[in-house]
Amino acid sequence: MTGFKMDPAEKQRVLREIQQFVWEQTGEEIGVIAAQAYFDFFQEKLAAHYYNKGIEDAKKIWEGQNARLEEEWYALEIPVK
């Protein structure tokens, strides 16, 4: 997935969370470069999956709303005798 830009302050927060997570799970203290490597790896491997799931979910919502709108359009029709 390309073109994803994260607010620098938010990215720094996420990197600190990665460092904290690794510490809690392994007892290993990692630096910012290692945290960035974890971040890059997971972004490369997982971001597209989450993005596509979000698109799929949004499409389902849109289709549901579109179906309701279509029902309302038909409800406005006047029967022809």
Average pLDDT over residues 2-28: 93
Nearest to 35 by CA among 45, 21, 48, 49: 21
CA distance 71 to 53: 27
> What does the DSSP 8-state code read for residue 78?
P
For residue 79, is pLDDT > 60?
A: yes
Residue 69's alpha-carbon distances to 5, 55, 59, 66, 78, in angstroms, are 35, 21, 15, 5, 17
Q: Which two tokens stand for residue 36?
A: 């960035």
For residue 7, is pLDDT > 70?
A: yes
Query: What's the pLDDT score for residue 77?
Result: 85
Could you tell me the pTM of the whole model?
0.67
Contact 5, 47 (CB under 8 A): no
How sure is the predictor about 3, in pLDDT bands with cuts at 50, 70 and 90? low
Query: What's the pLDDT score for residue 74?
Result: 82
For residue 27, is pLDDT > 70?
A: yes
